[in-house]
Chains A and B, each alone.
Chain A
Amino acid sequence: MSRRGLGGVAAVLALLLVFPFFAGTYQTQLLMYGLTLAIAALGFNLLLGYTGLLSFGHSAFLGTGAYTVALMMRYLGVSSLELFILGGVVCSAALAALLGVVCVRHTRIFFAILTLALSQVLWTLAYKFFWITGGTDGLRVPFSQLTLLGGLVSFPGADAFAKFITYYYYYVLVVFCACTALMWLIVHSPFGKTLQAIRDNETRARFLGVRIWRYRWLAFVVSGIFTGLAGILWVPLNGLVTPDVLYWPQSGKIVFFAVLGGFRNFAGPIVGAVIFNYLEVYAVAVTQYWQITLGLVLIALVTFLPAGIVGSAVRLGGRLKKKGSEQFP
């Protein structure tokens, strides 16, 4: 990473660290939603941006993470977030490993349809087996029953909500930073480079002796784990999980994050997820017809700004730089 890039990352990090001090509880909460969704987008983009596979079924992993937490809380009486993360990651990894075997045999449109169809199996199970999952009422995950750091921090008392938001914000921030760093390492590792080689030219990669399916499968599993982790962190924040989180338009939203930010750029999906979250929240607040807003934004985006926000900004920056250097050769 360039020195300027590092400076930018440090500035953003500093801003994120002090954010709760000057923003209110509500704004902190909003940003937190964005950060958890950004983890999902990071995982998703390992497939779309780096492996060239468009999944329309990532709601399955988000929902598996969220439902694992809710079911563990309800039926096992667990309250520790670390145990939730452990359980949720194991479950989403297992699911991704299973679905991956089926899905990575296909590419392009068939991959998209297959991931979509399989994710909807989970949706119908959550929806129909209501005596376990609560059906459309969903399952509650109240923050008051949550403990952080192995039981060191809990949230009893009157001002518990503000305390929860502050503590949970830093928890989410740490996990988010760890995930971002890990994903950065993954995509710049030989493994990540191999994925990009497969994306750019599958035939050539195969001739070089790369076992395509195995790499795609691994990428699928890693992607599923990241998105599952996002679901785990999201659910205490939301306080409730319903089958909607597994329904396929949710997968569409995850795709939206990546395209909004720009999926050919590492930071694109992160920015996309955070901005999408604000866009959705404010569109819902302003009008009941928020879907039309999102739909029009999406259509405008893919028509006029296919590189996304970050991609276009980088391109614009590059052009300005070039112009400058032309003036002074």
Chain B
Amino acid sequence: MEIVALQVLNSLFYAAVLFLIAAGLSLIFGVMGIVNMAHGMFYALGAYVTAWSVGVAGSALPPAALFIFLLLGAMAVALVGLVIEPTLIRPFYRRPEEYQLLVTFGLLLVLEDVIRLIWGGTPITASGLVDSLGLVRIGGLPYPIYNMLMIGVGVIAAAAIWAFVYRTKFGVLLRATAQDRRMAAALGIDIGRIYILAFGLGCFMAGLAGAIVVPTQAAVLGMGVEVLVISFVVVVIGGLGSLEGALVGALIVSALRTITIQFWEEIELAALYLIAAIVLLIRPTGLFGRKA
């Protein structure tokens, strides 16, 4: 019974991370119509910046203060996004999709090597953050408090994004732009500002996901490439461009992943991709997708 409780927690932790990545991907697609192949690299960048800054400041600061670096890592990634959108992505809004995919694929290649250039090939860890919070006993089994805290962060983030998109004036402008770009522009909305902020927000979420994950594993090369395909699976199941879809998709994917790892480890990823294909066959727009 305890093992089930632990697996549910593991699954929720993974779902929180996946949601942050997939929601950013979905937000960028929903507003700008661009599928960002480099999105996984922003997640990796968040992980690297956080692990590196925790490593640099780790000895000087008390462990509790180190949590600020999770936020700083995410904000650093958002800054990178704010630079990249107007310089690199903006010229491609009017171009065919294959060029949009390719420019972000080029960005992925560049960012991966930039990470290698700055931090080298050896993984960096920030496990001190997990250790500083200690363990809690569930039944008789130990479980890191850090993971439980981060599930909470995931819930708060989901609520905050929901409130931001559906309850603020900026959210209204965002949704208006997503629905009809030309009409929104004609009504005097500054589309350029909406785009740059949406892209920055998407990057912030991916960076936060990376920052949350890195204390439990390590920042390694290839993590961005790997996570991208899984977040595609999430948005395909949930529906590209839908925040609710990203949430439900993240929960489904992480539950499925936990179950397959428990019972038949080899088919873990294959099962995910197959589920995505089946959903696309039955409901091409995903569970929550809008009709194209």
Which A residues are closer than 8 A to B by beta carbons? 48, 54, 56, 102, 105-106, 108-110, 112-114, 116-118, 120-121, 124-125, 128-129, 247-249, 252, 255-256, 259, 288-292, 294-299, 302-303, 306
By a CB distance below 8 angstroms, the chain B residues around A294 are: 106, 109
Query: A105–B37 Cα gap in the complex (Å)?
Result: 22
By a CB distance below 8 angstroms, the chain A residues around B274 are: 121
Which B residues are closer than 8 A to A by beta carbons? 35, 37, 88, 91-92, 95, 97-99, 101-103, 105-114, 116-117, 225, 229, 232-233, 236, 240, 265-270, 273-274, 276-277, 280-281, 284
Q: Decide if A124 touches B269 in the complex (CB within 8 Å).
A: yes
Query: A297–B103 Cα gap in the complex (Å)?
Result: 10
Q: Decide if B99 touches A108 in the complex (CB within 8 Å).
A: no
User: Can you list 23 pairs linking A and B with CB atoms under 8 Å apart?
Assistant: A54-B98, A54-B101, A105-B284, A106-B284, A109-B35, A109-B101, A113-B35, A113-B236, A117-B277, A120-B229, A120-B269, A124-B273, A128-B270, A248-B225, A252-B37, A289-B113, A289-B116, A291-B116, A292-B110, A295-B110, A295-B111, A299-B110, A302-B103
User: Separation in Å of the B266 CB from the closest CB of chain A?
Assistant: 4
By a CB distance below 8 angstroms, the chain A residues around B91 are: 303
Q: Which residue of A lies closest to B34 (CB)?
A: A109
Q: Decide if B110 touches A296 in the complex (CB within 8 Å).
A: yes
Decide: A121 near B281, CB < 8 A? Known: A248-B229, A299-B106: no
By a CB distance below 8 angstroms, the chain B residues around A129 are: 266
Query: A291–B37 Cα gap in the complex (Å)?
Result: 15
Q: Decide if A295 touches B113 in the complex (CB within 8 Å).
A: yes
Decide: A54 near B236, CB < 8 A? Known: A110-B280, A125-B270, A255-B102: no
Among B102, B111, B240, the residue within 8 A (CB) of A259 is B102
Q: Decide if B107 touches A295 in the complex (CB within 8 Å).
A: yes
Decide: A298 near B277, CB < 8 A? Known: A112-B101, A248-B229, A255-B102: no
User: Separation in Å of the B276 CB from the closest CB of chain A?
Assistant: 5
Among B108, B229, B233, B268, the residue within 8 A (CB) of A295 is B108
User: Separation in Å of the B4 CB from the closest CB of chain A?
Assistant: 25
By a CB distance below 8 angstroms, the chain B residues around A255 are: 98, 101-102, 105
Identify the interface centre among A120, A128, A288: most chain B CB within 10 Å of its CB: A120
Q: Decide if B106 touches A296 in the complex (CB within 8 Å).
A: yes
By a CB distance below 8 angstroms, the chain B residues around A113 are: 35, 232, 236, 240
Query: A303–B87 Cα gap in the complex (Å)?
Result: 11
Query: A56–B102 Cα gap in the complex (Å)?
Result: 10
By a CB distance below 8 angstroms, the chain B residues around A302 are: 92, 95, 99, 102-103, 106
Query: A105–B103 Cα gap in the complex (Å)?
Result: 26
Q: Decide if B280 touches A102 in the complex (CB within 8 Å).
A: yes
Q: Decide if B268 touches A252 in the complex (CB within 8 Å).
A: no
Decide: A291 near B101, CB < 8 A? Known: A102-B280, A124-B273: no
Q: Decide if B110 touches A128 in the complex (CB within 8 Å).
A: no
Q: Which residue of B lies closest to A290 (CB)?
A: B113
Identify the interface centre among A125, A256, A292, A306: most chain B CB within 10 Å of its CB: A292
Query: A237–B270 Cα gap in the complex (Å)?
Result: 29
Identify the interface centre among A48, A117, A118: most chain B CB within 10 Å of its CB: A117
